[in-house]
Structure 1
Amino acid sequence: MSFDGSCYHDGHDRDEAQLICQQGGGSLAIVSSEEEYDFMVANFGDDTFYVGAQWNGNEWVWDDGTTIDPNILPLLNLPDGDADNSCLMMDAGVLTPTSCDIAMGFLCETPETPETPGVCEDDDDMYYDGSCYHTGSDRDEAQLICLQGGGSLAIVSSEEEYDFMVENFGAGTFYVGAKWDVNNNEWVWDDGSTLEPGVVALLDLPAGDATNSCLMMDDGVFTATSCDIAMGFLCETPTVCEDDMSFDGSCYHDGHDRDEAQLICQQGGGSLAIVSSQADYDFMVANFGDDTFYVGAQWNGNEWVWDDGTTIDPTILPLLNLPDGDADNSCLMMDAGVLTPTSCDIAMGFLCETPETPGVCEDDDDMYYDGSCYHTGSDRDEAQLICLQGGGSLAIVSSEEEYDFMVENFGAGTFYVGGQVG
């Protein structure tokens, strides 16, 4: 939806939620027993989220193809679905039919790894009976997804914008871009501005507190909420492309610059990879030498400094054979196994380094070395998912003019486009 120079996209519908769960190796959660239902209510009962069932016209069917166990049907007390409400959500501990197109949180269920039975890698996940459960998105994840799409969580700058949001998204439950300033006792938008007095009166906002320092819209009403609850979110993205490039009615954004890459690594509990020894370097070349990606160093004007604040070990400097950086090339990438200065603004892959669960990486595609798991991002599926979350898709080339535009504006980058062998 468009309003006053911005496009609005309200987070994850049901298809996007399932895709994100599958990207993490799981699926939307199902309820296979009374014990599992009790677990979900006890641990996620305050949230509103999709679960993995759909109405087939006659009955509810879990996404794995099974029907709901008749023994737990009385417990779930499920009303029938219909054509407009063919998906299933849990809202305040109650399973309820809902539209599949509403933006809300979701509950992923991911099988445990044989190497770490009974353990979930993410401390925020909950373990139950062979699976790890994760609700998404919390407020930080929501803002990250908006930023990746070239926007930010929506703010309300006028009565007209408020009316637009209520009219078009009022049925949803989602984060907007404000936080409670506990020092000044006021709501502050994410762009640093405070709420206009007229908007404050219109929104009729309650005060926040340390526990409820984020802001959501729920059925058209703005309410203080915890920042850790999984729910939908409303992104606001300029229709004028700003930092993006415009061509023939579309905005083009070339993936992850260095700041975005580091942010994504940190969201996963790690950071951009550093090289602390020759063995470290040899591991990276052997396993990721065919890729092009950012690593965790920057040029400070005199020397290369790793993101943890340490300088490069002098004993491995001859091995790395690093040229000096400069103002235009103050970041570091590995390209075909060679560490090279580069601009921090070019879109490319990146290598995250995440502390281990002893000796094990949860993702089968990650590589383990010396206490850390290494993950290059983004692969093609992740790239497409991020584009979809931003309301677009991987770019295609539909004309010679579009090709020339892409070469001229993004030719220095290395990135996926939207074609595959049929």
Structure 2
Amino acid sequence: MRTRPIRFDWLLPTLAGVSVALTLLTGSRGDAGVGVGEIGLAVCILIGLLRSLGRPVRMERRFLAMPHVLLIYGIFIMLPLTVVHFYAETPGSSMRDWLAYMLSFLFVFSLHQSKADLSLAGKFFLLALTGILVYQYFNGGISSWYSSRFTAGAKNPNQLALYCICGGVVAAASFKKKWVTGIFVGILFLFGLQSRSDAFAAMALAVGFGFVVAYVVPRRLLVPLGLPLLLGGAALSVMYIGPLLDLVDVEWSGADEGGGRMTLYKNGLLAWLSSIHSFLIGNGAGSFSGLLGPFGKSEAHNTPIDMLTIGGVLGLVFYIFPLKFMLDAYRERRLLLFSFIIGMVVFSLFHFVARQPVWWFALLCAAFFLRRHSINGAI
């Protein structure tokens, strides 16, 4: 009698989902900046690559796959730039940051290449994240709070807010039953509010507004109406950029990091514009803004500006993927997923996200869901 071989297809998705959730606990990392979650991600990479041995590289016909683009960029563009600037002692350059990027890029590449079930990974991520949030809220003690702001064990409340918005994307992509998705979205929203993050509030407004507009406005009218509004808003911003920045600076002066954010934005842009090669291809991995001037070893806390300093104009390729998946979701009338990806993009304007595994994991889950539901694009 022949026995069926034991399959462990559940192992990689389970470990991946739980590991991504555990990377939230940045306050529990060791001196080297590595915690249980990061170790789990490294194990996932090893398992995924071993499972991929002998398989042809999975490239989609119509588009390059997101994991391949990230990996190619990280190895062939970001690495040489980082090495040059690190040994030239450019202030803010960091090989450690490059390793953090590669952890994320290799992680999503290994999941994609090994054909891991990302729907299952998303479910385990949400279960693990919910467990962490509940435990940290009631039993985490002082390490789970930043003054009156809930962090769930992270060093920064905005990291919790990032996990809550990415969790919304994963929930919209992982469950067939809407009421299950609604439960997880509601839980994440409540914990996100406890972070008291201005970025989370902006994200929540963007999600709600995006959903209402997409639901009410017919598809045939969204682009004709949306493009003039976008261009008009951009024109007004250019015309009144000075007063607007002054107004925003005043409004933010009492908020967390409010008084310094405009300075960080300005000095990040100055670092980007410091040379022609920085303008085109950036300075490699690191943090190049600062409160006292450009190259002050600080992030701008704005992903587009930080990516310009890191990768120049070419670095904005990172935004191709969320924008593409957002349009794909709208085209297929997956309005909750569409609106949560809008929320991710809005949140990224207030916090640097490109180095975070949860950001790329959420986008990979969204792409997996969209492709599985007959989107004519690719991961």
Q: Which has the higher helix share?
A: 2
Q: Which has the higher strand share?
A: 1
TM score, norm. by length of structure 1:
0.26
Larger radius of gyration: 1
TM score, norm. by length of structure 2:
0.29
